[in-house]
Amino acid sequence: MDNFRFYTPTEVVFGKGTENETGKVAAKYGKKAFLVYGKGSVIRSGLLDRVKGSLKEAGLEFEEFGGAQPNPTMAHAKEGVKKALEFGADLIIGIGGGSAIDTAKAIAHGTANGDEDLADIWAKKVPLNKSLPVGAVLTMPAAGSEMSDSAVLTNEETHKKAGINTEFNRCRFAIVNPELGMTLPKEQLAAGVTDIMMHTMERYFIPESDCDMTDEIAEGLLRCVIKNGKTVVENPSDYHAMAEVFWASSLSHNNLTECGRGKDFSVHKFGHALSARYGTTHGASLAAVWGAWATELYPGATHRFAKFARKVWEVQEEDDDKAAKLGISKTVEFFKSIGMPISLSDLGENIGDEDIKALSLDATMNDTIKLSRIRPLDAAEVEKIYRAAL
């Protein structure tokens, strides 16, 4: 087991009706809240009004900023920074899923560093030494942004989707009411379930990893998501299943399942390149390439893939190679069973030869970085996996 540091400062308020506690919790962290949300579902559902009512009751001022995209953009976050500065915000609250919360995090960084260009902060051209406190009112189990140290934006000018990891990304509080996920479309729930699994698997398939306790947590989380994830896709009104998936979402991306071994996130690089170019839903972009990625790389971590097959999918095969392949096929079958794409052709995009080459360069930052801790992948090898995913 490698040395590690585990830090989870987020105050989680979990359960039915907890959005009505937003004001009481937020008052610990600021007096002027800047509310970031998406395209209007939080308005139509009445959630935004309930949050605002709670803030008023607690004596907080607030300003609204809607329009966060499913793949949040740099331009929109910059607009939010300008408005937050004009308002004098001292607290940013994301209301929605990962897109709204990631946008809120970016606005917090830009507002606290008003003399710097947010794009330069994101590109690490200037240091990020301060930020505003961020809170989250979660409506969708998927990204885990409510407890993670990461945030992702797409720069529409460069067609690049990239994230930054910093402790400033940690939300001070997260309001989590699983009931809010019951009105989500099934395709969004399926994509969320996929993202939760991927956040866990990207930390699991590390070669020569010997972390029994962390493995037990990760394997249990995956079994829980597979069981309850299929239920929520089929029956979103099942509160028990929805609550399990919401909690798994938070735990899957707060670094708990990487303690002692770190993470990989190479599949995310494949997916980010697809989302930046085609606007592909994040979970769908991951499911479309995972099978090809796993098939190509499992020989370098056969024992890990075999353990995954036995502990998560209850595969009884004693031969590691055969067990590993069975685990991969069962995972791909699960993605398909909940309506996720399992190939690039399933995405419905006309992806040609030049597109594959461009995606490979995007994923590897013009072949300047190598992906995967199992076996370093340059742009040519990434291209091979994209082609296998067709």
pLDDT digits (tens, 9 = 90+) for 308-343: 999 999 999 999 999 999 999 999 999 999 999 999
What is the domain range of residue 34? 11-180
- Tell whether the model's pLDDT for residue 344 goes beyond 80: yes
Whether 66 and 214 share a structural domain: no
State residue 203's pLDDT score.
96
From 162, 180, 198, give the residue that closes a domain: 180
Q: Same structural domain for residues 161 and 244?
A: no
Residues 197 and 297 occupy one common structural domain: yes
Q: Are residues 141 and 289 in the same domain?
A: no
153 and 290 co-located in one domain:
no
pLDDT in tens, 369-389: 999 999 999 999 999 999 999
| Residue 4, domain member (yes or no) | no
Q: Which of 180, 198, 215 is the last residue of a domain?
A: 180
Would the pLDDT of 224 be above 90? yes
Q: For residues 92 and 191, state if they share a domain.
A: no
Query: For residue 6, is it within any domain?
Result: no
Q: What does the H/E/C string look like for the chain?
A: CCCCCCCCCCEEEECCCHHHHHHHHHCCCCCEEEEECCCCHHHHCCHHHHHHHHHHHCCCEEEEECCCCCCCEHHHHHHHHHHHHHHCCCEEEEEECHHHHHHHHHHHHHHHCCCCCHHHHHCCCCCCCCCCCEEEEECCCCCCCCCCCEEEEEECCCCEEEEEECHHHCCCEEEECHHHHCCCCHHHHHHHHHHHHHHHHHHHCCCCCCCHHHHHHHHHHHHHHHHHHHHHHHCCCCHHHHHHHHHHHHHHCCCHHHCCCCCCCHHHHHHHHHHHHHCCCHHHHHHHHHHHHHHHHHHHHHHHHHHHHHHHHCCCCCCHHHHHHHHHHHHHHHHHHCCCCCCCHHHCCCCCHHHHHHHHHHHCCCCCCCECCCCCECHHHHHHHHHHHC
**CATH number of the domain to which 37 belongs:** 3.40.50.1970
Is there a single domain that holds both residue 106 and residue 221?
Answer: no
Residue 5 lies in a domain: no
Considering the domain architecture, whether residues 108 and 148 belong to the same structural domain is answered as yes
217 and 326 in a single domain? The answer is: yes
CATH of the domain at 205: 1.20.1090.10
In a domain, 360, yes or no: yes
- Please check whether residues 148 and 205 belong to one and the same domain: no
**What pLDDT score was predicted for residue 311?**
98
Q: Are 211 and 153 found together in one domain?
A: no
Residue pLDDT, tens place only, 144-190:
999 999 999 988 888 788 889 999 999 999 999 999 999 999 999 99
Last residue of a domain, one of 180, 215, 248: 180
- The answer to the question of residue 99 being in a domain is yes
Residue 138 lies in a domain: yes
Number of compact structural domains in the chain:
2
Q: What is the mean pLDDT of the chain?
A: 95
Do 104 and 47 fall into the same domain? yes
The verdict on residue 123 lying in a domain is: yes
